[in-house]
A and B are shown apart, each in its own frame.
Chain A
């Protein structure tokens, strides 16, 4: 299973909007010239099908929610590759008032590929590095045998008889228990 995972990484890319240079370079990397399909890498447009999330650009307060959303929609095991210096530290935009300074402040990053933009060889190397981590994650989850994520929402227990004047607390009306 982990061998198959290592041989078929599907990549989705998300641009957090700086100068777009890394994103353009990365898309050029996925063209037939570099033939990343020989590693089984496919460029998908859908986070629900993807294994590797490639983030380019400096994440800011506006798009951090979108980035988190895209990351959450990917089924595990998944790997995040930060492509360029902007997603690593904020790059030349680090001092801007709206820039968070790195993707790692929003989602966990597995591979950093520095450069402004990185060379195509470095980008492909970064992805292949991520593939190794992906297979490792798969292997770890095989040995641990985790339970499937099942969310159970129970109705709240009946409130204890309290003084009539007390207002019902919003927190006790519904409780989500994650197992």
Chain B
């Protein structure tokens, strides 16, 4: 029995098998987490809510719809959004350069923005512009986080972070709080759900994804599953030394986001920028200075 287990772990340790496993299970986990999100949201509003597997049904349904696209580049942008999001997750999973991970993830979002900007619908444009402002609000915090990691472990490599016996959360508690707001923006949680709200489907008519329909919207949904997995993974990495404590950290962080999603109304872009560049950025910089001294 032990031999079989060691053999299995050896096979899973292989870089290619590991990548394949991440590719298959990350979107499943992401969809599952989104299902939990929707059920918890429903329970907080005092109702039953959809089945847990609702995100799977939605995505499968979208691939059964008639493919309608305005023009070919639009399809390409949806695909690039998905491909770069997968690449970002893979780079993270393989312990690559964290700066590279950040840039690839940002480029994935940029592809979505380009897709939104490639059509002439005004709502799509508004959504895309808001998406850019969101990136402007969150990228400094993410950058400071990676600089802080570099300061602590003397390396930008994700694999070096995992070798450190001390959990990240103990040396970067303030950055974790700042990072939660970043995740709230990236996963389109209220009060930051400006570009294409996840629960309020009428808000600027779904913004960036307005002109995507059928299977192309499905591609964006799958990219979102990967994105959820990406950020939950990052939250888990704040306590990488123990799998279960890391899971608990990610769970608490995610539940905080769900509560915040239900408790707060939507901010304007200006307010979001003001908030992100004051509170979370100050927290992040304070943490950086603390690590420096």
| C-alpha spacing A62/B178, complex, angstroms | 53
Q: How far is the CA of A75 from the CA of B217 in the complex (A)?
A: 12
Cross-chain contact of A32 among B45, B67, B201 (Cβ < 8 A): B45
Assuming the contacts A35-B47, A37-B47, asked whether A4 and B61 have C-beta atoms less than 8 A apart, the reply is yes
- Give the size of the chain B interface in residues (CB under 8 angstroms): 32
Residues on A with C-beta less than 8 A from B45 are: 32
Are the CB atoms of B210 and A48 closer together than 8 Å? yes
Do B201 and A42 touch across chains, with their CB atoms under 8 A apart? yes
- With both beta carbons as reference points, the residue of chain A lying nearest to B54 in the complex is identified as A40
A4–chain B nearest beta-carbon distance, Å: 4
Verify A8–B201 contact, CB threshold 8 A. Answer: no
- Asked if A35 and B58 make an inter-chain contact with CB atoms under 8 angstroms apart, the answer reads no
Count of CB-CB pairs between chains A and B under 8 Å:
89
The distance from the CB of A37 to the nearest CB of chain B, in whole angstroms, is: 5
**Is B202 in contact with chain A by the CB < 8 A criterion?**
yes
* Interface: A166 (CB within 8 A): no
Residue contact B212 to A48, C-beta cutoff 8 Å: yes
B2 interface contact, C-beta 8 A: no
Q: Are B61 and A35 in contact (CB under 8 A)?
A: no
Contacts of B248 in A (CB 8 A): none
Q: How far is the CB of B201 from chain A (nearest CB, A)?
A: 4
Confirm or deny: B211 has a beta carbon within 8 angstroms of a beta carbon on chain A: yes
In the complex formed, the residue of A with least CB distance to B204 is A45
Main SS class of interface, B: loop
- Interface range for A: 20 to 34
Q: Is A49 an interface position by the 8 A CB rule?
A: yes
Q: Which residues of A contact B50 (CB under 8 A)?
A: 37-40
- Most interface-central of B50, B63, B206, B210 (chain A CB within 10 A): B50
Which residue of the partner chain, among A33, A40, A76, contacts B57 with CB atoms under 8 Å? A40
Cα of A44 to Cα of B210 in the assembled complex, Å: 11
Given contacts A40-B54, A75-B214, contact A35 B49 (CB under 8 A): yes
| B55-78 interface (Cβ within 8 A of A) | 56-58, 60-61, 63-68
Which listed residue (B42, B47, B51, B66) contacts A75, Cβ 8 A? Answer: B66
In the complex, are the beta carbons of B201 and A43 less than 8 A apart? yes
* B213 adjacent to chain A (CB < 8 Å): yes
- Indicate which residue in A37, A38, A44, A75 contacts B202 across the interface (CB closer than 8 Å): A44
Task: Check B54 against A45 for contact (C-beta < 8 Å).
Answer: no
Residues of A close to B38: CB separation below 8 A:
37
Question: A35 contacts B42, CB within 8 Å?
Answer: yes
Find out whether the CB atom of A8 lies under 8 angstroms from the CB atom of B205: no
Q: How distant is the Cα of A7 from the Cα of B61 in the complex, in angstroms?
A: 8
Q: Is B165 an interface residue (CB 8 A)?
A: no
**Distance between A166 CB and nearest chain B CB, rounded to angstroms:** 38
Q: Is the CB of A7 within 8 A of B51?
A: yes
Is there contact, CB below 8 Å, between A45 and B201? yes
Could you tell me the distance between the alpha carbons of A39 and B49 in the complex, rounded to whole angstroms?
Answer: 8
- Which residues A128-167 have CB closer than 8 A to chain B? 138, 148-149
Which one of B42, B61, B66, B202 lies within 8 Å of A8 (CB-CB)? Answer: B61
**B48 and A4 contacting across the interface, CB-CB below 8 Å:** no
When the two chains form the complex, which single residue of B56, B63, B217 contacts A49, counting CB atoms closer than 8 Å? B217
- Chain A residues with Cβ under 8 A from B205's Cβ? 45-46
Sorted nearest first, the 6 A-B pairs with minimum C-beta distance are A45-B202, A4-B60, A35-B47, A48-B213, A75-B66, A7-B57
14 pairs, A vs B, C-beta closer than 8 Å: A2-B64, A4-B64, A7-B57, A32-B45, A32-B47, A35-B49, A37-B50, A38-B50, A39-B50, A43-B201, A45-B202, A46-B201, A75-B65, A75-B68
